[in-house]
Amino acid sequence: MNIQEYGLLKSSKKKIALIPVTEDNFNHVISQEGQPIQKFLKTQDFKGQEGKILAVPNSDGDVEAVFVGVKSYDDMYALADMPSKLPDGNYYIGLPDEFSLSAEQQTKLSLGWALGTYKFTKYKSDTTANKINLVLPSKADIGQISREASAFFMVRDLINRPANDLTPAALEAEILKLCAQFNIHAKVTKGAELESEYTLIHTVGKAADEGARLVDFCWGDESHPKITLVGKGLTYDTGGLDKKPSGAMNDMRSDMGGAANVMGLAKMIMESNLPVRLRVLIPIAENAIDGHSMRPHDIVYSKKLGKHVKIGHTDAEGRIVLSEALAEAASEKPDIIINMATLTGASKRAVGVMPVLFSSDKHLARNLMDLGEELQDPMWQMPLVEAEADLASGLTSIFDADIITDPDNGNPDHIMAALFLKKAIGLGRGDDGQTFVHVDFSGFNSKAKPGRPEGGNVAAIRTLYQHLQDTYTP
């Protein structure tokens, strides 16, 4: 593994001390330093304030040490800003021995640093190599850091590619490239076969130059617990005939964020060789406009669902393509189905940039929320229960079809979408024991934070991976 591509080194002869301090331990930490450094810190009014950075020069004017104020050594993003703010050089965490960090803390801080080195350079003429590195602390888990950083970088790179580059065929090629890394054969259903077997997926993509498709692959021992991931792969969404306003289309390259995040999660599972039988289903389409576009209130028969489906709104295309992929996922009754999608604007209006979480297992949902908070990869649970009969009935109380994708009844769209998907896999007819997790999130991060740059958003995959590892590792 080449960890240097994430701004990390295993060793370096020449390196500079990077000393993270909190306001609480600042005085004690600097008491271990020599008088010249203590005096310099006083003259600069540095007291370990969070986010403040102070470079200490030596007698030759070179950087001898850098102090940085952090909130906590348990904050994964405490050093994530450093790669963009420090002078060039190789750094090491230079805390005195009595402040030795645990293996978990060393791993967190190193991972945060790695995530802070990400740059999207595919279309940039200046692709200067990284000149700022962190020498890994001795107890940091290199395997975990590399696994998670490589997944994050892949997800961000995919989402950041514009739709004229990442077309349906190009996204398919990226999935096949991932499969090739693990010697997996993927099944790709498209053309006439897709129209026959997955009519709804075909319907959403039939107006685009490149038709829709479903990519389906499996990995792992068939005797192991079955885990199925489904990700929405809309490479661009105009809204169809119910066209989005122009401003709302600006970030629609990210409408394949569910597919990208599922690919990242699958990559982490396969790289760590979790003892599961993994299946991944990614429906891919572009929701374009021409004379073949689906129309509002078209009725389409889906053999996969066994229902006539009424298209309530052509900009609610995500749940349409996902319904058939989820029905296929449910057909072999895996232990858990995890669906990820940039599905509704309502989720962002409800809780901001945090992903919303729906699950048929309320205890699992609460555990995932707690785990996400612990891992700084949070989700927020929303209701997905049959007791919401007034909402669920709105999907079926129509005169001319079995089910409608999104009734215009003023109810919360993120909940209506989740209920539609729940019905698609059969849970709407009573609990059949199938564990279903649905994550609805924004694919584009418009406000950069340390380690979380503007652009493609990586959502909840660390939390979901950790849950699977905790559940299925002996």
Choose between 341 and 409: higher pLDDT.
341
Same domain? For 68 and 24 the reply is yes
Residue 5 predicted with pLDDT over 50: yes
Same domain? For 12 and 152 the reply is no
Q: Determine contact, residues 455/124, Cβ cutoff 8 Å.
A: no
Tokens of 316: 């609610």
Per-residue confidence band for 429, with pLDDT thresholds at 50, 70 and 90: very low
Q: What DSSP character marks residue 451?
A: T
Q: Which domain holds residue 118?
A: 3-140
User: What local confidence, expressed as pLDDT, does residue 387 receive?
Assistant: 44
Question: How far, in Å, CA of 371 to CA of 383, rounded?
Answer: 19
Instruction: Choose the final residue of a domain: 140, 159, 186.
Output: 140
If 0-12 CB within 10 Å is exposed, 13-18 middle and 19+ buried, where does residue 388 land?
middle
Same domain? For 388 and 300 the reply is yes
Q: Determine contact, residues 271/216, Cβ cutoff 8 Å.
A: no
To the nearest 10°, report the CA torsion of 20, 23, 27, 30: 20
Same domain? For 90 and 228 the reply is no
Angle at the Cα of 255 (from 251 to 261), degrees rounded to 5? 115
pTM over 0.85: yes
What are 149-201's pLDDT values in tens digits?
999 999 999 999 999 999 999 999 999 999 999 999 999 999 999 999 999 99
Same domain? For 98 and 215 the reply is no
Same domain? For 65 and 17 the reply is yes
Mean pLDDT of 85-90: 92
If 0-12 CB within 10 Å is exposed, 13-18 middle and 19+ buried, where does residue 223 land?
exposed
Question: How far, in Å, CA of 267 to CA of 362, rounded?
Answer: 27
Question: How far, in Å, CA of 271 to CA of 267, rounded?
Answer: 6
**Amino acid in the structure at residue 414:** H
Same domain? For 191 and 271 the reply is yes
Same domain? For 177 and 93 the reply is no
User: What local confidence, expressed as pLDDT, does residue 430 receive?
Assistant: 44
Per-residue exposure over 179-202, b if at least 16 CB sit within 10 Å of its own CB, e if not: beeeebebebbbeeebbebbbbbb
Mean pLDDT of 49-72: 89
Residue 388 predicted with pLDDT over 60: no
Same domain? For 131 and 181 the reply is no
Choose between 111 and 406: higher pLDDT.
111
User: What local confidence, expressed as pLDDT, does residue 131 receive?
Assistant: 87
Neighbouring residues of 79: CB distance < 8 A, sequence distance ≥ 6 = 18, 20, 68, 70, 109, 112, 113, 116, 134
Mean pLDDT of 391-419: 81
CATH code (residue 426): 3.40.630.10
Same domain? For 163 and 219 the reply is yes
Nearest Cα residue to 358 out of 422, 444, 432: 422
Per-residue confidence band for 410, with pLDDT thresholds at 50, 70 and 90: low
Q: Determine contact, residues 285/198, Cβ cutoff 8 Å.
A: no
Per-residue confidence band for 428, with pLDDT thresholds at 50, 70 and 90: very low
Same domain? For 59 and 158 the reply is no
Per-residue confidence band for 424, with pLDDT thresholds at 50, 70 and 90: confident
Instruction: Choose the final residue of a domain: 124, 140, 156.
Output: 140
Q: How many domains does the chain fold into?
A: 2
Tokens of 225: 């617990």
Instruction: Choose the final residue of a domain: 115, 140, 165.
Output: 140
Same domain? For 46 and 155 the reply is no
User: What local confidence, expressed as pLDDT, does residue 203 receive?
Assistant: 98
Question: How far, in Å, CA of 240 to CA of 238, rounded?
Answer: 5
To the nearest 10°, report the CA torsion of 180, 186, 191, 195: -150
User: Which active-site residues does the annotation give?
Assistant: 244, 319
